[in-house]
Homo-oligomer: A and B are copies of this chain.
Amino acid sequence: MAKHPTSGMDRTFWALADPTRRGVLQRLMDQPGLSVSELAGSFSLKLPGMTKHLDVLSDAGLITRTKAGRTVAVTLSATPMQEAIAWLNRYERFWSVSLDRLTALVNEDGEQ
């Protein structure tokens, strides 16, 4: 998958597959409305580097950029993340059950 995905959940998960982009989302949760330059500074990136990451997050619908004078303020958008969370949560029960089974197997093994 070297091409940039063009639809829904593909874009969301693609956007999340990078530590800087996950970090940006975390920062914006604590401080909504940070400017692009403030975000760049936080991650020791130059403006073009941060803009590239923000483009990916924006294409995925995870952030909104609003221009006020010479400053661009960045805020989080909720909807696409909800879909990704819903998808993963459908599997949460399975993963929990699997871990329980694994624990049971390990314990069983220890008892032999």
The quantity of this chain's copies bound in the complex is 2
Q: Which of B10, B22, B89 contacts A17 (CB 8 A)?
A: B10
CA distance A86 to B10 in the complex (A): 19
Main secondary structure of the interface of A (DSSP, over half): helix
Q: Please give the distance in Å from A88's CB to the nearest CB on chain B.
A: 5
A106 at the interface (CB under 8 A from B): no
Q: Interface 1/0s, chain A 81-93, versus B by CB < 8 A?
A: 1101101110110
Question: Could you tell me if A13 and B10 are in contact, using CB atoms closer than 8 angstroms?
Answer: no
Instruction: Give me the interface of A with B, judged by CB distance under 8 Å.
Output: 1-2, 5, 9-14, 16-19, 22, 25, 29, 56, 76-79, 81-82, 84-85, 87-89, 91-92, 94-96, 98-99, 102
